[in-house]
Amino acid sequence: MIKFQSLSRLPMFMALLFAVVVAGSVTTTAFAAVDPGVTVAPGTLGAATEPTVISSIPSNRERSVPTSTNTADNVVTGAEVIATFTQPMDPATVNSLTFTVKETTGNEVPGSVVMTEENTVATFTPMSSALNTNTSYAASISMGAKNANGVAMRNPIAWSFTTNASVFVAQKPVFLGTASTFAILTKSGVTDVFASAIRGDVGSSPISGAAIHLTCAEEKTGTIYSVNAAGPLPCRVTDPTLLTKAVGDMEIAFTNASGRILPDFINLGAGKIGGLTLVPGLYKWSTSVSIPTSVTLSGGSSAVWIFQISGNLTQASATRVILKGGALPKNIFWQTSGNVAIGTTAHFEGVILAKTKIALKTGASANGRLLAQTAVTLEQNAVTRPAK
């Protein structure tokens, strides 16, 4: 992400000069109407205030940018370019005419622009399946972009980035739908050796709530949902409709993760990944995967890891999944067709999408979500659902 520099305190002549330069040629500096050092959240400025762009993906002058993006719908397109505005925009004015991407040699990238529901984030998606490798690109948003009240941007915005030297497909996070509020979601219950500590919702469906063995004292921040009048009291909430939808979304997410194509790594380490540092990407194994010693995942806050595992996933006792570089557990997806076993006092990070059982041994902890299509078994564990 980038924060953009300001013209608001420059003399008028210099401001006009900069505006002409940015509008007429490619520049590596992005200008905006926000004072230097001021952080502005989208939607907080008044309607009469000129909108501007406060951040982008890729960031200004970023290198080794993926050439393609595998979307949440499992469709591979050229790498997306994203701009975040200070306030809601008129989507009719933020389009492929006002938001453009070009090679720095001048060749324009055909594409389309879509705004988020709040109209504060615009995504440019190339029509091609990939950008060129090892190529410099310039993205820009012209002053034709206006806010919801028709106020135009004071200055054009421009930033540049360079693609990876080889073909690389970035992954979008797997969409979890209503399953995203759950720390633990299963189809056949939760067993527990007291006392565990769960931060996030817990639920099971279609099995009776009697199969949820957690106590109310173990649910620290969240709700225990049941399909019927059975389950932990007095905290249990009966909501079969919610649980049916959440379990359905969990199954859809499993299918989405298992269906991602064009893996960056196949059968890495013959299934033994202990001691490795794993960069973002799509990993595929036709075998089981073990973590005999600690493993590191290194990447930024928007980086995504998807692990497709045909067999079991086993983490040895007293080992850790370590995150570096700003990596977030909400963007790490372990899709496994077999059982998952997290060893005694081990620490795990990420979302587990398991076809069968997830078992945490004594004292193990997890920052993530345990989404199992059979059961989850706990033994004095701490499970914390990451922020959405």
Structure tokens at 122: 């615009």
Domains and CATH numbers, the chain: 5-171 (2.60.40.1220), 177-384 (no CATH)
Structure tokens at 233: 């009291």
Residue whose token pair is 């899709």:
335
Q: What is the per-residue pLDDT for 388? A: 73
Q: Can you list the positions of beta strands (E) in 173-223?
A: 182-186, 190-193, 197-199, 201-204, 219-221
Please give the Cα distance from 18 to 259 (Å, whole number): 48
Q: Can you list the positions of beta strands (E) in 260-330?
A: 265-266, 277-278, 281-285, 289-291, 295-298, 305-309, 313-315, 321-324
Q: What is the per-residue pLDDT for 45? A: 52
Q: Do 185 and 247 form a contact (C-beta atoms < 8 A)?
A: yes
The DSSP bridge pattern shows strands 136-141 and 121-126 to be unpaired
Beta carbons within 8 Å of 248's beta carbon, 6+ residues apart: none
Please give the Cα distance from 76 to 91 (Å, whole number): 24
Integer angstrom CA distances of residue 277 from 52, 121, 283, 295, 325: 38, 32, 13, 6, 12
pLDDT in tens, the chain (388 residues): 444 543 333 343 333 333 333 333 333 344 443 333 333 445 445 557 899 999 999 999 999 999 999 988 888 999 999 999 999 999 999 999 999 999 999 999 999 999 999 999 999 999 999 999 999 999 999 999 999 999 999 999 999 999 999 999 999 999 999 999 999 999 999 999 999 999 999 999 999 999 999 999 999 999 999 999 999 999 999 999 999 999 999 999 999 999 999 899 999 999 999 999 999 999 999 999 999 999 999 999 989 999 999 999 999 999 999 999 999 999 999 999 999 999 999 999 999 999 999 999 999 999 999 999 999 999 999 999 998 7
Q: What is the per-residue pLDDT for 72? A: 82
Structure tokens at 4: 């953009």
Q: What is the per-residue pLDDT for 84? A: 96
Q: What is the per-residue pLDDT for 90? A: 97
